[in-house]
Chains A and B, each alone.
Chain A
Amino acid sequence: MGELYNRLADDIRFVESLKACINCGTCTAICPAAEFYNYDPRVIATTVQSQDDEKIRELMSSDAIWYCGECMSCKTRCPRGNAPGLLIMALRSVSQDMGFFTESEKGRQQLAVKRTIGDQILASGYCVRPDMVDPGMHPEQGPVWDWEHKNLIPVMNKLGANYNGEGSGALRKISQDDLDELQKIFEITGGQERYDKIEEFSKEKAAEMGLEFGTDTNSEYFQHIYTANNQKHNHE
């Protein structure tokens, strides 16, 4: 048993997600990610089960652990009570804590998630807010969203939301006191540290790739990781 395996084993979700795998493919058969990507949760389970640190390191540095959609369909079905989706969460955590995530195209995207969803949580208390779903970045949202986005205040008002307002209700402004508590929780529980690590490791990678890093979503590195797709992820 190596160090990486031990780190994984420290994660409660790991304990809950992998007892003994019989390589049966029940998880893969139902996995939406396996249908779309070159991905096989069964192989993830058996690789980790080997307890071979070299293989686990390779896994954590690869695209493979980033394909899962965390739908947990696999948890319902595994005849051994495993949950590859949870196992993936443990792998992703260690991969980010150790910096392996920047070694793969899909892994590098974590910075994009951090700078959008991650930062939004601390800034506004919401993981998603309507003003954040920019029609330019989200053309699939369609013309109705485009219209709504242009008219956010009156539309939200019409639909009974308390958009950016005081007090309770949908889309209310979350008070600074509440945000401060959230920030404090992040600091005490390792959330902030995770954010910082994602930034640090990504910064190193950006330097290595010769891309401007910046601090927002307009930087070269952000734009690169947000859109890059080498087209090698899918089945033939």
Chain B
Amino acid sequence: MGKHVVVIGAGPAGLETSASLAKLGFHVTLVEKEDVSGGHLKKWHALFPTLLSGKDALETITKGLDSSIKIQTATKVTGLEAVNDYFTISGHNGWQEKADAVVLTTGFQLFDSHRKEEYGYGIYENVITSADLEELFASGKAFVNRHGNKPERVGFVHCVGSRDEKVNNLHCSKVCCITAVKQAIEVKQLLPDAEVFCFYMDLRMFGRHYEELYKEAQEKYNIQFIRGRLSESTEDRDGNIVVKVEDTLLGKPLRIKVGLLVLMAGMEPAPDTKPLANMLGLKNVSDGFIQPLDEVLHTNSTEIPGVFVAGTCSGPKSVSDTLADARSAALAVADYLKS
């Protein structure tokens, strides 16, 4: 066949799309701006709902890569141009290639929790994000807060940077509810005596066995789920975090003191997604994620023939969603290049 596809972004989506395309016989170049591929998955210690190690998951995905695939790391794609029936893709470092089709797998960026000013991230030491917590788990260090204490209470704040017009993100990030449940259980396993709270608006347990994990969190681990969105956090003299939240099911405003507060930072479109999409004349919907041709039927094609999307650059997804989406993107590309 000899057709050439460039895949932009080597996270789970890019890796899996490339592997699948190579298996289908295409020449693939996978471009990644970082030195190492793996995207966000590199950072996750254990994955919901099974607690599969993130490292193992990444290894397995990477193993699927064919030696024919050219992996161009440390190259940030900054140029994308449709020329007649091919595309020119160029990187910040002068790298350039032509391709018959392009797959955008630029992923997401973690919401910058500093922007939720009222939660005090970056100001109060014991306010951390879900990503920081994964790092702490992965480090294998003793589970203590930034003051070196074992927290007696730990709070998880859902929807940080998601479902929030104050930060211009109306969308739900989909994975943070289940991530909170997973992390709450892990905290409870490390600190069986700690009280653990999840502050949520809706629990979106959309995947297989997520609801079961939630139930386990309640029954086996006695994690407290309080339906209310956090309004603010402050610090007391001992470095504890005092949060204000309403228990909306009881109709009671609460003040709760925790030793560690974890913000479930949401997903935003990766910063390069929009400029790259704009270069091709692709529509981004108002939330900044790329709009596929049809959200129900044609989730990997775009309105430009030869341009495809996979993974979280078209909206929040779990790893398993992302991988399935990547494989389906490969088929869509094959379909296009065959005709």
Residue positions of A touching B, CB distance < 8 A = 22-31, 34-35, 40, 42-43, 76-81, 235
Q: Which of B192-234 contact A (CB under 8 A)?
A: 201, 227-232
Q: Is B253 an interface residue (CB 8 A)?
A: yes
A26 near B230: Cβ-Cβ < 8 Å: yes
Q: Is B148 in contact with chain A by the CB < 8 A criterion?
A: no
Q: Which residue of chain B is the closest to A24 with respect to CB atoms? A: B229
**B230 surroundings in chain A (CB, below 8 A):** 26, 29
Q: Which of B163, B244, B246 has the most CB of A within 10 A?
A: B246
| Shortest distance from the beta carbon of B233 to any chain A beta carbon, whole Å | 11
User: Is B154 close to A, CB under 8 A?
Assistant: no
- Known A42-B246, A80-B165; 6 more pairs at CB < 8 Å: A24-B201, A24-B228, A25-B229, A29-B231, A35-B253, A81-B166
**Cross-chain contact A79 with B163 (CB below 8 angstroms):** yes
Contact A79 B246 (CB under 8 A): no
Residues of chain B within 8 A of A77, CB atoms compared: 118, 166, 231-232
Given contacts A77-B231, A77-B232, contact A25 B166 (CB under 8 A): no
Contacts of B245 in A (CB 8 A): 25, 29
Give CA–CA (A235, B253) in the complex, Å: 11
* Contact of B254 with A by CB under 8 A: yes
Q: Are A29 and B246 in contact (CB under 8 A)?
A: yes
State whether B229 touches A30 (Cβ < 8 A). no
- Does the CB pair A31–B201 fall under 8 Å? no
Taking the complex as formed, is B140 at the interface, i.e. its CB lies under 8 A from any CB of chain A?
Answer: no
Is B248 interfacial (CB 8 A cutoff)?
A: yes
How far is B251's CA from A53's CA once the two chains are assembled, in angstroms? 23
**In this complex, what residue of B is CB-closest to A74?**
B231
Residues of B within 8 Å of A235, CB to CB, are: 252
Q: How many A-B pairs with Cβ below 8 Å?
A: 65
Q: How many Å lie between the Cα of A23 and that of B254 in the bound state?
A: 16
Q: Which residues of B contact A81 (CB under 8 A)?
A: 165-166
Distance in angstroms from B243 CB to nearest chain A CB is 8
- The verdict on B164 contacting chain A, using a C-beta distance below 8 Å, is yes
Residue of A nearest to B244 (CB): A29
Which of B164, B232, B251 lies in contact with A79, CB distance below 8 A?
Answer: B164
From A24, A28, A31, A77, name the one whose CB has the most chain B CB atoms within 10 angstroms: A24
User: Nearest Cβ distance between residue A16 and chain B, in whole angstroms?
Assistant: 14
Q: How far is the CA of A176 from the CA of B230 in the complex (A)?
A: 52
Question: In whole angstroms, how far apart are the Cα atoms of A162 and B229 in the complex?
Answer: 51
* Residues in A whose Cβ lies below 8 Å from that of B252: 235
B residues whose Cβ falls under 8 Å from a Cβ of A: 118, 159, 163-166, 201, 227-232, 244-248, 251-254
- Min CB distance, A34 to chain B, in Å? 5
* Across-interface contacts of A27 in B (CB, < 8 A): 231
Residues of B within 8 A of A80 (CB): 165
Complex Cα spacing A28 to B163, Å: 18
Known: A22-B201, A80-B165, A81-B165. A31 touches B228 (CB 8 A): no
A17 nearest CB across to chain B (Å): 14
- Which residue from chain A places its CB closest to the CB of B249 in the assembled complex? A25
Tell whether, in the assembled complex, residue A30 and residue B231 are in contact, meaning their CB atoms are under 8 Å apart: yes
| Residues of A close to B248: CB separation below 8 A | 23-25, 28, 42
Q: Using Cβ atoms and an 8 Å threshold, which residues of chain B touch A28?
A: 228, 246, 248, 251, 253
User: What are the residues of chain A within 8 A of B164 when measuring CB–CB?
Assistant: 79
5 A-B pairs, CB-CB below 8 angstroms?
Answer: A22-B163, A24-B229, A29-B232, A42-B248, A80-B165
- Report the 10 A-B pairs with minimum CB-CB distance, sorted nearest first: A25-B246, A29-B231, A24-B229, A28-B246, A25-B228, A30-B231, A25-B248, A79-B164, A29-B246, A29-B244
List the A side residues contacting B253 at CB < 8 Å: 25, 28-29, 31, 34-35
> Bound complex: CA of A24 vs CA of B230, how far in Å?
9
Cα A26 to Cα B228 with chains together (Å):
7
| Inter-chain contacts of A26 with B (CB < 8 A) | 228-231, 246
CB distance from A62 to the nearest CB of B (A): 15
Q: Please name all residues of chain B whose beta carbon is closer than 8 Å to the beta carbon of A78 when the two chains form the complex.
A: 166
Instruction: Judge whether B228 and A79 touch: CB under 8 Å.
Output: no
Contact A29 B118 (CB under 8 A): no
CA distance A81 to B163 in the complex (A): 11
Q: How far is the CA of A228 from the CA of B248 in the complex (A)?
A: 31
Q: State A25–B201 Cα separation when bound (angstroms).
A: 9
Given A24-B229, A28-B246, A43 and B251 touching (CB < 8 A)? yes
Asked whether B251 lies within 8 Å of A40 as measured between CB atoms, the reply is yes
Highest count of chain A CB atoms <10 Å: which of B118, B252, B254:
B252
Q: Which of B163, B166, B229 has the most CB of A within 10 A?
A: B229
A145 to chain B, nearest CB (A): 33
